[in-house]
Amino acid sequence: MKKRNLLFILLPLVVGVVSGCDNQPFIDYVEQTKLANEYEGYDFLEDGIGEVTLFNNVDGDTAHFTSVVSEDRIKARFIGVDTPESTGQIQPWGKAAAKFTAEKLDTAKVIVLSSESESITHALADSTGTRFLSYIWVAYVDNPSLNDFKMINLWLVQESYSGAKGISASRYTQAFYDADMQAQELGIRIWSDDPDPDFYYGASTVTSLKEVNENPDDWLDAKVYLEGIVAKTIGTDAYINLDIEDEDTGLTQRYGLFIFSGYKSYAPLLTIGNLIGLTGIITEFNGNLQMTSVSYSPYYPSEDDITLISSGNAIDPLVITAAEGNDDKYINVVVTVNNLHGTGGYKEDDSNALTIYCMDDLEGLINLRISDNVHVYDRAGSGFDRILDPLYFQVENETFNVTGALLKYESLSGNISYQVSLCKNADLVFNS
Amino acid sequence: MASKKNFLALPFTFALLLAGCDGDGRTQVVFWHTMGQTNQEILNGMIADFTEEHPDVVINHASQGGYDDIRKKINSAIPVGNTPTMAFCYPDHVADYIESGAIENMTPYISDAEIGFTEEEGSHQQGEVVKSGVDDFVAGYWGEGLDYQVQGLYSVPFSKSTEALFYNVDFFEQYELEVPTTWAEMLTVSRAIKAIAPTKIPLGYDSDSNLFITLCEQLGIPYTSKESANHYLFNNQEAKDLISQLKVFYDEGLFVTKGASPNNSYTSTQFTDGTVLMTIGSTGGTSYNFSPNFEVGVAIPPSIDAEEPAVISQGPSITFFKRASTAQKRAAWEFYKFISNSENSARYSIMTGYEPVRISSYETPEYQTHLNAAGADVNLYTKTANITINMRDSYFYSPVFVGSATARDEVGGIISNVLLGIKTVEQAFNDALTECIFGSEV
């Protein structure tokens, strides 16, 4: 709060100095922009506006809420902004933006979501169909009037945590663009060359897959260099694995790590069997370790780029039983589990991802995870209809073998399970 | 997000920037664009190479969001004099900026004694003649920058693209279907797909506007004209008949557009989801058509006559603003020449899926390697490049005037409104025309 007050005192002075003869004062567009519609008794998903409570913060431009009226869970993507990443990838000012949003939401007395439409109508989902595009209004007094609400989306732009983006056809267009132009002229945070104090710009520490997996707390959020062999790819991402001998015991253990490319296509990461060196940041995603912020350019290389050490080193998946898969030591390692039979499972509410509960012929238990991006087709019909029902895997006397990365999953209630995550449909083979 | 190297380094340098210099006397070029993070990484690489050759110049670049965002931000910046030195643009945008008197005519820069084009930046052999400078650019792309309401060169090509047909190879092979080259073949194949897999949608078209404009171009149906007294020609019976026919095909379940899709979702997304089996979309968005679940093929989009395809030329160009100082504009031109030179244009194309803007780029060793990729090196980009290289002579672009952007938006709206049954064909055309005439007068 102190920091913000200081900013507001300084900003008019700064602008005064910069613009010289103009003496243009800082304009508080957040203060000028008011919530126009009544919200009490309305439900956001049904009516396009409604009071909510915070369920959890995600990052600078996404949060999850619960409707006060219907108690529905709402994944809200903030309209008109795109803050730097702070979850999958870590970018400068990403954590600062996430902290700003969290602070505004955590301390609010009342939170209201509104959609773009001015009339009472359903909220609109984004192109993923699962996140609802929302203006987020917060008030810091009990029983607030409409004038007491401030819009976080616009606040993020005004405070230089995001540019105004995708807002050209909004009723708040001008306020967003004006706040954006003012922020760019002021040149702070994302609009400056100033280093983000929460972002590490230094050199990487050389380590290994063994060290990172055995002492994860020592490496979380650290920028590291390590080596591994591309064992499996999924989209533009990959799992790297490596057999490493313990110097003390002489025993060899296979270690793995998921490499998140940030939706970018990096050639060395996409060929199975490549032994590569990677520089990136170790983070956690859904309870499993991953490396983010990797880079590669064949024509404009930088010192942190992925390096191809050698190719043709393909390693066979570890063949394990279901029971053996219930062990942290195989996390992010590519494994094959044979002779599985479905015993149940579920499809996620807001995606086509499936979790299949499985038992192998030794009666060990493990789950099969089929993400939304991997399509398993019904062998009947045209051969191109996706399986979206766990019952498909519960045919009597029919088993299947699966190859994928072993992951750990902790439910909201704290239950831990282990799952083989399918990377491509050809890795699921039915034993007919 | 914004790039690390960003707009206006510090507030206290702003006054210096107005003079076109940063604190240490270097010339500051401010470049606004709409690039995502991936393309910005490539741009940063080019900037590093450029500033090594030109240590007296600083390039500060920033993504300003989408195409509508950048247009509106620039329209806001023009009256208060906060325009960048150079910016991504569509011709429709430039028509507006020219009207405001904000755009520099770049014609004199082409043959400037100091900073004009040189043969080293790119040349190719045509018979006995070496073609360089303007003659080394793809004619259809360069011509766009000359085709404004006033004479001169007001934009130059950079991230150019066209449309391609992406299809599910596994499905086509399993059912021995031929990839359609004409709309008549498309109808036959789509009905065959519907018979095989009734729950699938045979074709998706990502841009409603492009569908309308491309069909008009191929069928010779009037769309717009540069004649100021008669800009909006699309409200004619042939166009109405065409849209009525499309509605019949849509109701038959043969195709869908982005505008007629739930949540306005891209048909490339529906294609990778497996719901749609063919999709026509921008080659600039090639990566969005990649699927880990089936092999993706690329083909020239269908036309009325397969021998005479007409494919839209699109993708942002770059325009330069008058208000910048002479030193800034000259530095910006040098920077443009650098990022569009033979080598850099080829590299940008290989890494993004956009088209090279120079003919000589196609002949560079790197681009030839890309085109001749084999085995594990074949990917969706290399497939697309091998298709679009044959489309260079088939590009068309629409007339540009103040209001042409509105016309483009409105004809796209006609398609979605009619397909979804929100408006009748007559209503949709009347509303679109009204918006073009009265909307663009405001």
DSSP conformation letters of B298-348: EEPPPBSSTTS--EE-BS-EEEEBTTS-HHHHHHHHHHHHHHTSHHHHHHH
Residue B239 is predicted with a pLDDT of 98
The H helix count followed by the E strand count for chain A is: 8, 20
Min Cα distance B436 → chain A (Å) is 17
- pLDDT for the residue A283: 94
Optimal mutation site among B69, B92, B201, interface A, most CBs of chain A within 10 A: B69
Which residues between 404 and 433 in chain B have a beta carbon less than 8 angstroms from any beta carbon of chain A? none
Query: Which pLDDT score, from 0 to 100, does residue B104 have?
Result: 98
**Position A6 confidence tier, pLDDT thresholds 50, 70, 90:** very low
- What mean pLDDT comes out for the span B299-318? 93
Q: Could you give the CA distance from residue B78 to residue A351 in angstroms, rounded to a whole number?
A: 44
Q: Is the pLDDT of residue A54 over 70?
A: yes
Contact check, Cβ <8 Å, A129/B290 = no
Mean pLDDT of A127-147: 90
| Confidence class for position A209, pLDDT limits 50, 70, 90 | very high
Sheet holding B255-257, edge to edge: B255-257, B201-205, B276-282, B163-168, B296-299
What confidence tier does B4 reach under pLDDT thresholds 50, 70, 90? very low
User: In this complex, do A173 and B72 lie within 8 Å of one another by their Cβ atoms?
Assistant: yes
Nearest residue, CB atoms, A299 vs list B66, B200, B347? B347
Over residues A102-127, the pLDDT tens digits come to 999 999 999 999 998 766 677 777 66
Segment B330-364, tens digit of pLDDT: 999 999 999 999 999 999 999 999 999 999 999 99
CA–CA min distance B197, chain A (Å): 6
Q: In B, residues 377-396, which contact A (CB 8 Å cutoff)?
A: 379
Which residue of chain A is at minimal alpha-carbon distance from B344? A299
Q: Provide the pLDDT for residue B301.
A: 97
The yes-or-no verdict on residue B12 having pLDDT over 50 is: no
- Chain A contact present for B200, CB below 8 A: yes
Enumerate residues 6+ apart whose C-beta is below 8 A from A170: A79, A80, A116, A176
Portions of chain A given CATH number 2.40.50.90: 29-191
pLDDT of B242: 98
Question: Cβ contact (<8 Å) for B174 and A383?
Answer: yes
Q: Do B62 and A184 touch (CB under 8 A)?
A: yes
Nearest-by-Cβ selection for B1 from A91, A174, A302: A91
Chain A hits for B13, CB-CB cut-off 8 Å, are 187
E-state strands within B170-283: 201-205, 255-257, 276-282
CATH 2.40.50.140 domain locations along chain A:
205-310, 318-430
Highest mean pLDDT among A377-386, B13-22, B388-397: A377-386
- Do A178 and B76 lie within an 8 Å CB cutoff? yes
- Token readout for B116 is 């004009």
- pLDDT classification of A129: cutoffs 50, 70, 90: low
Q: For position B165, what pLDDT does the model report?
A: 98
What is residue A19's predicted lDDT score, i.e. its pLDDT? 38
| Cβ proximity of B397 and B144 under 8 Å | yes
Helix, strand, coil % in chain A, rounded to nearest 5: 20, 35, 45
SS3 content of chain B, % helix, strand, coil (to 5): 50, 15, 35
Residues 6+ apart with CB under 8 A from A377: A383, A384, A385, A386, A387, A425
pLDDT at A12: 41
* Average pLDDT value for residue range A383-397: 95
Mean pLDDT of A396-401: 96
Contact A382 B196 (CB under 8 A): yes
How far is the C-alpha of B359 from the C-alpha of A40, rounded, in Å?
Answer: 62
Please compute the mean of the pLDDT values over residues B262-276 and round it to a whole number. 92
Cβ-defined contact of A184 to B292 (cutoff 8 Å): no
Task: Report the 10 Å Cβ neighbour count for A1.
Answer: 7
Residues 6 or more apart in contact with residue B110 via CB below 8 angstroms: B116, B117, B133, B134, B153
Q: Which of residues 77-106 of B touch A (CB under 8 A)?
A: 77, 82
Q: Quick check: B13 contacting A, CB < 8 Å? A: yes
Distance from C-alpha of B393 to C-alpha of B128, rounded to nearest angstrom: 21
The percent of residues in chain A predicted with pLDDT above 90, rounded, is: 83
List the one residue out of B269, B240, B262 whose CA is nearest residue B415: B240
Of A295, A310, A209, A231, nearest to A260 by C-alpha is A295
Q: Which of B49, B73, B269 sits opposite A127 (nearest CB)?
A: B269
Domain over A29-191 is classified CATH 2.40.50.90: yes
Identity of the residue in A262, A375, A423 whose CB atom sits nearest the CB atom of B274: A375
Chain B residues within an 8 Å CB radius of A191: 2, 6-8, 62
Give chain A's mean pLDDT: 91
Q: Is A190 within 8 Å of B366 when comparing Cβ atoms?
A: no
Torsion of CA B131, B134, B138, B144, to 10 degrees: -160
Mean pLDDT of all residues in B431-438 = 94
> Would an 8 Å CB–CB cutoff place B12 in contact with chain A?
yes
Distance between CA B278 and CA A5 in Å, rounded?
A: 55
Measured between beta carbons, which residues in chain A are less than 8 angstroms from residue B59?
none
Range with the largest mean pLDDT of A10-14, A142-146, B351-355: A142-146
Residue A18, pLDDT > 70, answer no
Q: Is B365 on the interface with A (CB under 8 A)?
A: no
pLDDT value, residue B161? 93
- pLDDT at A5 > cutoff 80: no
> Which tens digit of pLDDT belongs to each residue from B271-283?
999 999 999 999 9
- Residue B92's pLDDT is what? 85
Listed by number, the residues of chain B in 47-76 with a beta carbon closer than 8 Å to a beta carbon of chain A are 48-49, 62-66, 68-69, 71-73, 76
**Which residue has 């050698």 as its token pair?**
A310
Residue A169 to chain B, least CA–CA distance (Å): 9
**Pairs of CB atoms within 8 A across A/B:** 161
- Nearest CB to A163 within list B12, B64, B379: B64
Sort out which chain A residues have CB atoms less than 8 A from B171's CB and list them. Answer: 382, 384
Q: Would the pLDDT of B318 be above 90?
A: yes
Q: Is the pLDDT of residue B19 over 80?
A: no
Residues of A in contact with B274 (CB under 8 A): 375, 384, 386
Provide the chain B residues 213-242 that lie in CB contact (below 8 A) with chain A.
Answer: none
Residues on chain B touching A373 (C-beta within 8 angstroms): 292-293
Which residues on chain A are in Cβ contact (under 8 Å) with B194? none
CB contact under 8 A, A187 and B13: yes
What local confidence, expressed as pLDDT, does residue A17 receive?
A: 38
pLDDT recorded at residue A14 = 41
- The predicted structure's pLDDT at residue B181: 97
Q: What pLDDT does residue A324 have? A: 98
List CB contacts (< 8 A) between B379 and chain A: 265
Give the minimum alpha-carbon distance from B363 to chain A in angstroms, rounded to a whole number: 17
Nearest-CA distance B149 → chain A (Å):
25
**Band of pLDDT at residue B20, cut at 50, 70 and 90:** low
Contact criterion met (CB < 8 Å) for A193 and B5: yes
How much of chain B, in percent, has pLDDT values that exceed 70? 94
Taken in order of first residue, the domains within chain B and their CATH numbers are: 16-160+315-385 (3.40.190.10), 163-313+396-438 (3.40.190.10)
- This prediction has a pTM of 0.88
A205-310 has CATH 3.90.1720.10 classification:
no
Q: Tell me whether residues A299 and B287 touch, CB distance under 8 A.
A: no
Find the mean pLDDT for residues A336-347: 97
Over residues B38-67, mean pLDDT = 95
Mutate to test the interface with B, among A299, A311, A386 (most CBs of B within 10 A): A299
Question: Which positions ≥6 away from B315 have C-beta within 8 Å?
Answer: B158, B159, B160, B161, B282, B284, B354, B355
User: What is A318-430's CATH number?
Assistant: 2.40.50.140
